[in-house]
């Protein structure tokens, strides 16, 4: 008798994935915790581990297979002798993700937890034991609905942290993908879209079709900010910390949202989420697409701590090592193209957030400096706002607060 290993949900929004590489083959003996395969999601490539001991009976989905739906049987597991798995075996493998709620589509995963005491006296899957230990749930009084009466995650009856399901609008449902035919006689190479590119296309198309965007731009004299950055970097040089302009802009954005909390919100159908903490997602360009790792509780971090966090997250993103807790959530996003010499950018909102700030390059130009016309380094910042959640006056106050922070940067570090 064999049991099924299924494609896991490696993030709350994952619906499909690419089975990039098998790390085991038919006949291989595996133990709980052994790595079985590498799964490519829209954010990163992650490893999937075995839930129980056994022997790989067969590989159902070959490596390199794209768009494998979550829950699809990808392999079969038998016991170490090639027969049925013994008592306590589970019919699936679990991802290496530290979460305290189910990693299911349309649910938001919170920060990782550390479990010090797992209940191993009852028949339950490893993930169910780990979650029960973290939540202090007694497995003794729970009837298992899994194979052979095992307690599975759904049996714990954990409350969902999502206020309401996300339902595609009729507009989004009616739109069919356009399959453009290349013009005749023009040399062309046609490539299949990666999982990441498909996800970017779907999410941003949905954003522009269903979210009523409006845009506000401010221009800031960033010379004071550049001088402050130079002074901080000189002070922190012996500690190996080097601030970028973007690090200080992230801090300025967090302070501005603290001053105008009405902009730190999210539209949710008949509800409006008002956040008491500022978590800023930063757009990072990687090979084949874009990801948005999140810096948590930015208002409480020093500029040096922000620099360390942003550098570490950007490195993980470019190496494909981001975990779901690195990129899920975020109450607002910043996207900076200034390093590419772009004068001004108007970004698309990153759903389900209600705002994103686009940053252009600092350009030397005539400006009123100390009451006289002189030269200053001027940066354009454009905010894209969800008009369902944020009114024009609120957005204007946020943009004014952001400009004040940039032009008087001691307010950032005070």
Instruction: Provide the token pair at 383.
Output: 């905010």
Alpha-carbon distance 371 to 369, whole Å? 5
Identify whether the C-beta of residue 260 lies closer than 8 Å to the C-beta of residue 390. Answer: no
Is 387 designated active site? Answer: yes
Alpha-carbon distance 20 to 74, whole Å? 12
Alpha-carbon distance 331 to 347, whole Å? 16
Catalytic one of 122, 213, 273, 387: 387
Helix (H/G/I), strand (E/B), else coil: 378: strand
Alpha-carbon distance 120 to 19, whole Å? 31
How many CB atoms neighbour CB 368 within 10 A? Answer: 10
* N-terminal to C-terminal alpha carbon distance within the chain: 66
Identify whether the C-beta of residue 410 lies closer than 8 Å to the C-beta of residue 228. Answer: yes
**Structure letter (DSSP) for residue 151:** B
293-301: long-range contacts at Cβ-Cβ below 8 A with a sequence spacing of 24 or more? 293/317, 293/322, 293/326, 293/327, 294/326, 294/327, 294/328, 294/329, 294/330, 295/250, 296/111, 296/329, 298/250, 298/251, 298/253, 298/254, 299/254, 299/255, 299/257, 299/258, 301/251
Question: Would you name the residues annotated as active-site residues?
Answer: 387
């Amino acid at each position: 008798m064999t049991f099924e290993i299924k494609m896991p949900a490696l993030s709350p929004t994952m619906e499909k994935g690419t089975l990039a590489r098998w790390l085991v083959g038919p006949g291989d003996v595996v133990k709980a915790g052994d790595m079985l395969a590498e799964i490519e999601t829209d954010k990163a490539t992650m490893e999937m581990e075995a839930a129980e001991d056994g022997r790989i009976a067969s590989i159902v989905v070959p490596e390199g297979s794209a768009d494998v739906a979550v829950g699809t049987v990808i392999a079969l597991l038998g016991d170490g002798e090639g027969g049925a798995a013994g008592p306590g075996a589970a019919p699936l493998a679990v991802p290496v993700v530290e979460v305290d709620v189910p990693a299911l589509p349309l649910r938001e995963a919170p920060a990782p937890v550390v479990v010090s005491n797992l209940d191993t006296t009852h028949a339950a899957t490893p993930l169910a034991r780990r979650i029960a230990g973290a939540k202090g749930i007694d497995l003794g009084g729970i009837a298992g609905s899994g194979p052979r009466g095992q307690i599975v995650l759904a049996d714990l009856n954990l409350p969902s942290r999502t206020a309401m399901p996300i339902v595609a609008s009729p507009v989004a449902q009616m739109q069919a993908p356009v399959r453009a035919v290349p013009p005749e006689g023009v040399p062309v190479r046609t490539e299949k879209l990666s999982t990441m590119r498909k996800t970017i296309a779907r999410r941003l198309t949905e954003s522009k079709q269903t979210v009523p965007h409006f845009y506000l731009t401010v221009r800031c004299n960033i010379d004071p900010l550049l001088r402050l950055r130079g002074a901080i970097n000189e002070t922190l040089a012996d500690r190996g910390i080097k601030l970028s302009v973007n690090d200080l802009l992230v801090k300025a954005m967090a302070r501005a949202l603290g001053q105008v909390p009405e902009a730190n919100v999210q539209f949710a159908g008949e509800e409006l989420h008002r956040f008491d903490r500022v978590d800023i997602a930063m757009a990072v360009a990687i090979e084949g697409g874009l990801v948005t790792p999140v810096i948590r509780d930015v208002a409480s971090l020093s500029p040096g701590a922000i620099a360390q966090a942003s550098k570490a997250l950007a490195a993980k993103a470019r190496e494909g090592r981001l975990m779901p807790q690195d990129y899920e959530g975020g109450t607002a996003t910043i996207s900076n193209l200034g390093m590419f010499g772009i004068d001004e950018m108007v970004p698309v909102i990153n759903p389900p957030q209600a705002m994103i700030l686009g940053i252009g390059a600092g350009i030397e130009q005539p400006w009123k400096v100390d009451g006289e016309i002189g030269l200053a380094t001027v940066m354009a910042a454009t905010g894209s706002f969800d008009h369902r959640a944020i009114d024009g006056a609120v957005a204007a106050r946020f943009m004014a607060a952001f400009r004040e922070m940039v032009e008087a940067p001691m307010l950032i570090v005070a």
